[in-house]
Amino acid sequence: MALWKDSNSPSSGFAGGAAPAAPTTRECAPSIAPVPDAPRRTGRERAEAKESVLAAGLTLEGKVNGTGHVRIAGRFKGDVHIDGTLTLDPGARIEGHVKAATVIVAGELIGNIVEAEQVDLREGGRIEGDIKAGSFTVASGARMRGKVEFGWHSGADADTLTESVITGTV
């Protein structure tokens, strides 16, 4: 239903013709369908999860929890706990603790990384904090100050745990 009359019709406008009728409440109310329960995500759906991005030039403070992949190009202050990949781009900075399946650091991380399956410290990346991960890769030109435990898995025996203390530039 149009709320105005055609300008080409003889009784157009309000001057000579009657004002258009107001829509009824029924016409204005949107139809709302019930929302079904959201299905649980499988491991394959997690791998295909979308990536959320904190763009360069943005600063955010808070906490990130959830599934999916997160790329930070700006600055974030707070803890990040995701079931996916966290990527810290060159020039980006996180101040807080990180718990993620995979952590890729090409920027600066000030805080601990706990329970990661894989940590990649890329060229130009910097970590100030402890790392506990299944595997740890360091590129030439990366810097780190802290304690590293790799080969770590939940419930791992102390005999299978490899520990290194790293300080300096690689």
Average pLDDT taken over every residue of the chain: 76
49-87: per-residue pLDDT in tens?
688 898 898 899 999 999 999 999 999 999 999 999 999
Q: Where residue 12 falls among pLDDT bands split at 50, 70, 90?
A: very low
Q: Where residue 46 falls among pLDDT bands split at 50, 70, 90?
A: very low
Identify the pLDDT of residue 112.
97
Q: Whole-prediction pTM value?
A: 0.64
Q: Where residue 8 falls among pLDDT bands split at 50, 70, 90?
A: low
Identify the pLDDT of residue 151.
86
- Residue 10 gets the label, from left (phi > 0), alpha (psi -120 to 50) or beta, of alpha
Identify the pLDDT of residue 155.
52
